Structure 1
Amino acid sequence: MQPDYTVPAQTRIGHVHLKVADLDRALHFYCDLLGFEITMRYGNQAVFISAGGYHHHIGLNTWYSKDAPPADRHSVGLFHTAIVYPTRKDLAVIYNRLLLANYPLTGASDHGVSEALYLNDPDQNGVELYWDRPKEEWPYQEDGTIEMYTRALNLSGLLNELRK
């Protein structure tokens, strides 16, 4: 039996790599709509994209999925990719872009620790766009554990960030 182990606190998720049916369609969503930048192409089968010049936050490929239908919603696999925005105003900006593009949301939630927009990419991969509230504002239970919940996000209040 192995001894107890806790992953180091500085550990983070580095990137997600998604199988897509159509690379150009995926790039239109992730780059043209969400604003990621291409950092590298791997022939005509894969592209790596990022925010802020990182080598890649998202990989997109058609190696096993070119022209394939979306995965069954009730099968195992990735539930969603979560993209963290630095501020509430940044989340408001991307929400406004989605509104102007008439891109549909699948949900919008206040989780206490964060506020989130949910949508699907063109391959029906779930995408969460969110910002974390400052840690000192997170709700805690009496025993010290974080109290997360799912409540409706006030979308008009979110858009008010654009007026500040």
Structure 2
Amino acid sequence: MTTDRLPQQTRIGRTALRVGDLEEMTRFYRNVVGLDVLHRSDTSSVLGAEDTPLLILERVEDGRQRHRSGAGLFHNAFRVPSRESLGDAVARIREHWELSGASDHSVSEALYLTDPEDNGIEIYRDRPREDWPRSDDGSIRMGTYPLDLEAVEGAAAGDSGLPAGTDIGHVHLAVSSLETFRDFYVDTVGFEVQVDEPGAVFVSAGGYHHHIGANTWNQRSGPVGGRGLSWFEVLLPDPEALNVVQARLTDSQYPVIETADGIAVTGPNEIEVRFRTGT
């Protein structure tokens, strides 16, 4: 592998949220989003699809909401494997909650909602990669158009939860500086810019449309804190790739901490990113 870019198999792993009401939030992500509760304690819940953990909810004692000026999560994006499962998601949301938006992004079809503690959520399915529109230079063109919700709803299979194969397709962050975001995630970690537009940048590994998005639309100026994003995880395909990332981070201004299964670093806006190997 080259040392300046992440390998093609890189993807997003688990994400974690600090929450005030663990019971309510666990119920929401089970009934509305459709995740299975894999483990539950007095202080945390682990939810996922089949046996794969995707989301960790961590109860915080003070329960304070993240300050409006603070950076953090714009949305967690749960990627489902088919239009049928996206249709099932629409049905769950309509029955138990409220859909706040729906868009056709050319590369994907996406639903948007907000959880009880104001964390953004996207549930989406990708179109085949060969159908993604591209510019003359080969870069991906993502648009935002009305989604044909009737067609999506009509494809529903009637399943009550998210199917096997669901994962965290990407994480979208609200940040204070796109330049600092690029310095860390692109120049240091090794993601590649796929879309760069006023107020937002989307980066990925292996030519995906984006594994991490970032925007300054809400002019966040402070660090992450209180309720909201706790950390998210980048999965690398092998120990060699992890070693390369660790070396690059060690040479940066951001201190690296070794964890039980990888490393963690607190990057721009004090957002914690964890790296480990995973299939």
Aligned match of 1:120: 114
Q: Distance in 2 between matches of 1:126 and 1:151?
A: 19
Q: Distance in 2 between matches of 1:80 and 1:69?
A: 19
Q: What displacement does 1:69 show?
A: 4.2
Q: What displacement does 1:34 show?
A: 2.1
Q: Which has the higher strand share?
A: 2
Q: With a CA cutoff of 8 Å and minimum separation of 6, indicate the structure with the bigger relative contact order.
A: 2
Give the alignment partner of residue 98 of structure 1, picking from 93, 96, 100.
Answer: 93
Q: Distance in 2 between matches of 1:162 and 1:9?
A: 32
- Residue 111 of structure 2 contacts residue 124 of structure 2 at CA under 8 Å; is this kept in 1? yes
For 1:145, what is the secondary structure of its paired residue?
Answer: coil
Q: Distance in 1 between matches of 2:29 and 2:85?
A: 16
Q: Give, as a single letter, the amino acid of the residue that structure 2 aligns with 1:46.
A: S
Aligned match of 2:105: 111
2:87 is aligned with 1:87: no
CA deviations on 1:48-103 (whole Å, 9 max, x unpaired) are 1110201x1100011xx3462432444311111000000011101110111122x1
Deviation beyond 4 Å, 4+ runs, structure 1: none
CA RMSD, aligned part only?
Answer: 1.8
What does 1:8-157 correspond to in 2, within 5 Å? 8-41=7-40, 43-54=41-52, 56-62=53-59, 65-66=60-61, 68-101=63-96, 103-157=97-151
CA deviations on 1:2-40 (whole Å, 9 max, x unpaired) are x96101111111110001111110111111222212222
Q: Distance in 1 between matches of 2:141 and 2:99?
A: 25
Structure 1's unaligned 5+ residue stretches are none
The number of residue pairs the alignment matches comes to 156
Q: What displacement does 1:153 show?
A: 1.1
Q: Compute the TM-score of the two structures, normalised by the length of structure 1.
A: 0.87
For 1:71, what is the secondary structure of its paired residue?
Answer: coil
Kindly, what percent of the aligned residue pairs are identical?
38
For 1:149, what is the secondary structure of its paired residue?
Answer: coil
Q: Distance in 1 between matches of 2:68 and 2:150?
A: 30
Higher mean alpha-carbon deviation, 72-81 vs 5-14, is at 72-81
